[in-house]
Structure 1
Amino acid sequence: MNIVVLGIDLGKTLCSLVGLDREGAVVLRRRIRRASLTAFVEKQSHCIIGMEACCGAHHLARQFDSLGHNVRLMPPEYVKPYVKSHKNDDRDAEAIAEAATRPTMRFVPIKSEEQLDVQTLHRARERLVGTRTALINQLRGVLFDRGIVIARGRPKLSLWLRENLPDNTLLTARMRQLVDDMVDELHSLDHRIKQLDQEFEALAKSDQRARLLRSVPGIGALNATALAAAVGDVSAFAKGRDFAAWLGLVPRQITTGGKPRLSGISKRGSTYMRVLLIHGARAALPYLARMDTQLDAWLQALLKRAKRNVVVVALANKLARIAWAVMSNQRPYEAAMASKG
């Protein structure tokens, strides 16, 4: 049995395997426990191993790569067209094996343990921020039910809690205790988020690529570490537009009345990284619009004909292109080169 391509449909406990020979014919169909998968692959001669880029795939990909196999990870949406009717695990594995042989297929770079560690820290911080936001909204709702109206925004809530909560008589004793507990929980979340921010700051200083990215306006420690961890080989992107499209920041082109026009961005790729770049662009826009550079002229002209939120997203696209140029050239950002990104 000469297996040239091995497609693996990963599951939590059971995995489906399909092996193809040089002619593309199926020579192996098997279901195997995930715990025994590495031992099975180790016995096979060097071949192409295709898997979907899902949870746990990068860990197995590193193991298979160390055994000498050519591992190819693919986005699940790119594998779906190769699945035959009556979908099941076996047909999924066969589709993965077939997709792995396509010359135009786009493969996902295998992430190292360090990259996955940084991405996990970002997910943990995102969860904490979401919990904090939900807690703030609940706290404002509890107070609103007692006739206490607090304007939106964390600073205004903090100011009211500091100045009015100690002497407030609109809350019952039990509600006062509940609000105190929620405030203590809020302070605890703030402390944990601050600790993660300090860790990201240290990571951004120790990583060379993150240090270069921080030279770009609107990219701080969070953006720099997230981009550095997500991007493996930057040469996989031929130009800055490809990198921006990978982040989902390139507008879609539609035709209306026979005339092409630009619509909203594609929103492909990582939502988290796209949000970080857009928020970074929003914070950097007032500063960049005052600079005496070609980027300033471009922003001023764009602000005259487009809404501010549209300009923010366009600037995020521009910053993504600049970030690609910085990583590709291994040089910090220079304002005079902004128009060449």
Structure 2
Amino acid sequence: MNSVTLGIDLGKRWFHVVGCDGGGRVLLREKFSRSQLLQFMAQHQPCLVGIETCCGSQYLARKFQGFGHEVRLLPAQYVKPFVKSQKNDFNDAQAIAEAVRLPTMRFVPLKTEEQMDVQALHRARERVLQQRLALTNQIRGLLLDRGIEIAQGFYALRTTLPALLEDDDSGLTPMLRDLGRMLLDMWNRTEATIDQMNNRITCMSRDSELCRRLQTIPGIGVLLSTAIVSAVGDASAFRRARDLAAWVGLVPQQHTTRGKPRLLCITKRGNGYLRRLFVQGARALWVWKDKHPNDPVQRWLLQLAERRHIHIAICALANKLVRIAWAVMRSGIEFQHRYHI
């Protein structure tokens, strides 16, 4: 008997599948390798398939959709309450099969290969930035052990270290001087890699009409616009602007009891990288607030900063930028600077 709902627990090599009928009764419990799973899904009649989001889930979801199945991706934290008794792979798959049938369940939208490419580029760039920072700190620490202090920042390292390594009176030993040249060469290659990634992201933003529209919003540039499109596409998965702001984690945390609402700090849920870029864009608007005194966004920010702490005002502006971005993506028009907040 073919199952109506399939819950699949993904792994690197082995995949556990639990199938249920319309009443929730378990009809299938199988363990497959990757090739066996693809063959099984290709031969199974179209049904509802639930997969927990993890590495590789987007690829398999697209493959299963090509076989005619209706695939839904579930966040791991929403599946955990459905796990009964001991935790094992079959129990996880059964929990997925039960959770995917709920009408109130929230699912993760499937991404296209173009979105995955842009997201991979952003993640690789973030990794290289961390490597550059770690390498910079290590070079400054090694020199500080020899009594040589270099100012913070990349510019000081780029301009001071080459001359220091060539100076015979710097007090560095020959071995440390050779090590410094190797570290400096690694640092320069990292800088070149970052520039190549930045150029690639810039080209992608120019080719995307949606990215160009997002960049008309104050505080949103090349990095943020491409990150938004890679994460949410055209934002069709969000019914309201507040839903996108809540997904990014820029709405207040609610702790209501006895009918008394109480709002705390922001939830910081969802995509932390995207949230950080929105906050940085809002902070940039605060830095340049005196340059555009007649801009409605700047005027709203200044009025809020008079009543709240500046960090709270910046987070509130980041929330507003998320909502404006949702409106721009859903409406299909550019941001209009002549408006009233």
TM-score bracket, normalised by the shorter chain, equals over 0.9
Unaligned 5+ runs, structure 1: none
Q: Alignment partner of 2:73: what SS?
A: strand
- Look up the equivalent residue of 2:134 and give its one-letter code: A
Structure 2 partner of 1:180: 181
Unaligned 5+ runs, structure 2: none
Distance 2:149 2:311 in 1: 29
Structure 1 partner of 2:72: 72
Distance 2:325 2:26 in 1: 44
Distance 1:294 1:153 in 2: 35
Distance 2:260 2:154 in 1: 46
Normalised by the length of structure 1, the TM-score is 0.93
| CA-CA distance at 1:237 after TM superposition | 1.3
Structure 2 partner of 1:312: 314
Structure 1 residues 209-248: aligned runs within 5 Å: 209-248=210-249
| CA-CA distance at 1:158 after TM superposition | 2.9
Distance 1:309 1:162 in 2: 39
| CA-CA distance at 1:165 after TM superposition | 4.7
Structure 2 partner of 1:117: 117
Matched residue count: 339
- Look up the equivalent residue of 2:199 and give its one-letter code: Q
Distance 2:65 2:7 in 1: 15
- Look up the equivalent residue of 2:151 and give its one-letter code: A
Distance 1:215 1:233 in 2: 16
| CA-CA distance at 1:71 after TM superposition | 0.6
Distance 2:287 2:55 in 1: 40
Structure 1 partner of 2:253: 252
Structure 2 partner of 1:22: 22
Structure 2 partner of 1:274: 275
Q: C-alpha deviations, 1:222-277, integer Å up to 9, x for none? A: 11111101113512212221111111111213469996443221111111111122
8 Å CA contact 1:11, 1:34 repeated in 2: no
Q: C-alpha root-mean-square deviation of aligned residues, in Å?
A: 2.0
| CA-CA distance at 1:321 after TM superposition | 1.1
Q: Select between 224-233 and 44-53 the one with higher mean Cα deviation.
A: 224-233
- Look up the equivalent residue of 2:243 and give its one-letter code: D
8 Å CA contact 2:234, 2:329 repeated in 1: no
Q: Select between 118-127 and 283-292 the one with higher mean Cα deviation.
A: 283-292
8 Å CA contact 1:109, 1:232 repeated in 2: no
Distance 1:337 1:99 in 2: 44
| CA-CA distance at 1:194 after TM superposition | 0.3
Distance 2:327 2:53 in 1: 27
The answer to whether residue 132 in structure 2 is matched with residue 126 in structure 1 is no
- Look up the equivalent residue of 1:64 and give its one-letter code: F
- Look up the equivalent residue of 2:84 and give its one-letter code: K
Q: Select between 162-171 and 140-149 the one with higher mean Cα deviation.
A: 162-171
Structure 1 pair 138–85 and aligned structure 2 pair: CA distance change class (3 A)? same
8 Å CA contact 1:288, 1:295 repeated in 2: no
Structure 2 partner of 1:206: 207
| CA-CA distance at 1:65 after TM superposition | 0.7
Distance 2:254 2:302 in 1: 24
Structure 1 residues 31-180: aligned runs within 5 Å: 31-161=31-161, 164-167=164-167, 169-180=170-181
| CA-CA distance at 1:164 after TM superposition | 4.7
- Look up the equivalent residue of 1:62 and give its one-letter code: R
Structure 1 pair 256–184 and aligned structure 2 pair: CA distance change class (3 A)? farther
Percent same amino acid at aligned positions? 47
| CA-CA distance at 1:209 after TM superposition | 1.2
Distance 2:338 2:171 in 1: 58
Structure 2 partner of 1:292: 294
